[in-house]
Structure 1
Amino acid sequence: MNNFQRQLVEKIMESMPRPCFEALEEFSRLDPDTLDGELPVIQRFLNSCPASSMPTKSYVLVKQFLIKHAKSTRYSNYRRYIERLLLWSILEAKKTITDLNEGDIQEFMSFCTSPPDSWVADKSCRRFTLGKLRQVIEFRPTWRPFSFDQTSIGEDGTRLTYIAGRGALAKQWSVVATFFLHLHDSGIIPVNPARRLHAAGIYSMNLPIHKGANVFTDEEFAVLMLTLSDMADEEIQNERTLLMIASVYYLRMQPSEIDSLGGQLTFSALGLMRDGTYDLDVDSFPSNRAWKIHPEFVAKYVNRYREKLGRKSLPLERDHTLLFGKIRGKGSISSTHARLLFRTVCQFVIDRLTESGYEVSPDSGFRKASLFWLRETSMHHSARTMRMEDVIRLVRKSNAESVYRRFFAWRG
């Protein structure tokens, strides 16, 4: 192995999630305010993490929280769920855990819905190797923050995609909400970033699946986009379907608007605003932040499509590719064709989950959803973080009473 390969391996190993806390008996002996007595391997891991995330500070805060729950009936569960947040904060978000905002927490919960393979073990295993001397104890290389409860291999021999169930997400959220309440009550953070989400009961077990509206749950939407991305990776023509579905979601498009506006919506119409969002810079469209498109749409989906089709070098403002263009020929697709593509993707998701051993219930969004659900789901997500007056603008053709009833009233 040459120096470059060795450095590459070391870099990859640094970004791997590692266990941060021992069993209850050893953990109970630690000083809650320092790293004194910690396993050397844990100290080396923290020192290798991105400095911007201040890993030691985040680690100590989490350890102090766990000390409050260091009981045999509680510790292992709290350790599992809060350790995931700690590792995500310092390795993925690269932020101190006290700097996480409401958007970060939502992103973390989406991450927990279907984490990358590098965060998922085929089965549960020990965290550390055995050793009489603490200096020789190392990480178990097979340990990961998430693990399959059953076999991770499908009938065709391929590894299954890890998808968290609603119950697992509810437990994860319970610990996360308790942790941030602890930080706030202790005066460590001035504002509790989990308060609104907790009050809304978004990840609660006892809420109806769709909250009385035609929307995907968080886990359903994550699985939908993950599956569609996989389809696009496997077959280039599915890139157009991925872009179409992402466009409906991020632009909050009514299906009828695909017919009326689709022939004019181009990449070049996406204008960057001062607040980092995008608007549709076309004279005939509403302006004044009436679209307020999340920058993730351009970064994750528009640029992906441009790169796959060899158009990434062309400046965005000069790229006149239609967002709802046809795979072949000129012009935009119709709403009828968009609905057909959407139903095809939903059926593919159902087939994929069924083949993986998951039972897709008759009430699942994948069985009931129409293309309209993408817009409603996007509006519900927007209503979590935006003021009501801003959401009214996004709806475009609705009044305040309707917006309140559809996107806010269910929180009470």
Structure 2
Amino acid sequence: MKSYSASPSTFKNYRGYLERLILWSWIFQGKSVLDLVRTDAEAFLAFNKSPPADWVGAAAMRRFTQKEGRLAFNERWRPFGVKVTKADRKRATEHDTKPVVSKKPSAGSEQLIYSVCCSFYDFLLQDGVDIANPFKSIKRIKETRLKRRPKALTTLQWDYLVGEAEAMADEDPKHERTLFIVVALFAMYLRVSDLAGRDNWQPTMGSFERRGDSWWFDVVGKGNKERDITVKDDFIPYLKRYRESLNLSPLPYKGEDTPLLATVHGRSGITARQIRNIVQPVFDRARARMKAEGRKEEECQELMEVTLHWLRHTGATFDAKHRDSKHLQMDLGHESLSTTQDIYYNVINEERAASNRGSIRGR
């Protein structure tokens, strides 16, 4: 697993699934993972679909806790995690009740678990362990590939959201940073980590670079992969506004090392959690304004579920209507063009179908 440590999400998946396999092997089968056979492998895949209740806990529960300055095993941790949605947490806070916990554990994709286990046994073989791969003898699992629907805001919701972000910035200069974050995530299809940075990289004002007539934003993204993103002309006024609030020149200069985001006290760099906390009031204000102006209840309620990642999806969904899919793929940082097409261009198909709902008679 150490070979995947540079990619936190991949490392987390591998660790979680292999940990689950090892525990299941000892506790349920009474044997080492080195002694599993095909029937055991099939039983393990089936086990992931319906684990016992005492193997299920809160998804956010950490494996270890700090105790007297040392790491101690957290007895509340479980191999399967259930999630409390953001909307459920918000409702619980508003009504001063406990949030509703989903009864369905996040078991993970059967295909992904299968692939991880196969990879684990292949590693053992390559490392000189004389062992048969019990998962390899199972016919490769193929799951139905469904069209993915991006979690994105409607045009109306986005208008309210950016409107409230601008109003907050007008009311208090400290929210110029808030407005910049909201528009940057939307306009450049950024992940939160693209603004928060990583262990080996932190974004600066110099990450914006002018090349010819165009502006680009350079990031070290998911999987520590470098990519450059085209910057919309319409985004530049927001960049200027933000920089001027920091008493900087209107536009960045080559090699500028000013941190892209800083705390209100001037400390460079802020975490993803801090970014989420900074933007949450914008979602709350937009929802309150929509309710006050009598907008549809379902559109108001949906803003309780919105996360910052929706802004990335929203920007890409809006732009898919008039951008080449390859160009959109490169700015999003997707490995595969089919990923971009499946997620964002399916929306265009829905609009195409909606435009063809006229009556057959009396057109």
- The structure that is strand-richer by fraction is 2
- TM-score (norm. length: structure 2): 0.49
- TM-score (norm. length: structure 1): 0.43
- Using CA pairs below 8 Å that are at least 6 residues apart, which structure has the higher relative contact order? 2
